[in-house]
Amino acid sequence: MKRFPLAVLLLVFCASGCHEGHVSGPPALHLGRDECAHCGMIVNEERFSCAILASDADQPLVFDDIGCMLDYRAEHADLTFVEDFVHDYGTQQWLIAGRAAYVLASSGTVATPMGSGIAAFQTTDAANVQARAWSAAAMDYGGLRDARRAWKEARK
């Protein structure tokens, strides 16, 4: 009889060990297979892809364009967002979105998957260099979110 409680306890520990728990860090991206959580397009370009970790989701939400991620955030204010990730335009390394610098160019200047014209950079210096080359504006994440919101409002 003493083995029964021990067996139950072991079963509970094993079952809890199999549960994945909360997602953290940038996701593994599957180019050509993952779908954008906002527009449904297949994610094909790593340098423009991005992701959101939401506390309500059991897996990261991936996006093909930074504009899609910003629009998704704006349209889902009811969700709790834990972290946003973007890829550096040059190195294609994952960056925490709030620490990255951005260039917002016209869609004719830089061809992003959904035409947002947004590219992320690890440093402000890199963003400023690219902004000059594209005759565009460099900004931080807060400024980018405001600019995207203004752009969306102007299209209504």
Give the up-direction half-sphere exposure of residue 150: CA atoms within 13 A in the CB hemisphere.
Answer: 7
Given this model, what pLDDT does residue 108 score? 83
**Alpha-carbon gap, residue 114 to 95, rounded angstroms:** 20
* pLDDT of the chain, 156 residues: tens digit per residue: 445 444 433 333 333 344 345 567 899 999 999 999 999 999 999 999 999 999 887 889 999 999 999 999 999 988 999 999 999 999 999 999 999 999 999 878 999 999 999 999 999 999 999 999 999 999 999 999 999 999 999 988
Domain ranges of the chain: 31-154
DSSP E strands, the chain: 50-54, 61-63, 81-87, 94-96, 101-104, 118-121, 137-139
> How much is the pTM?
0.83
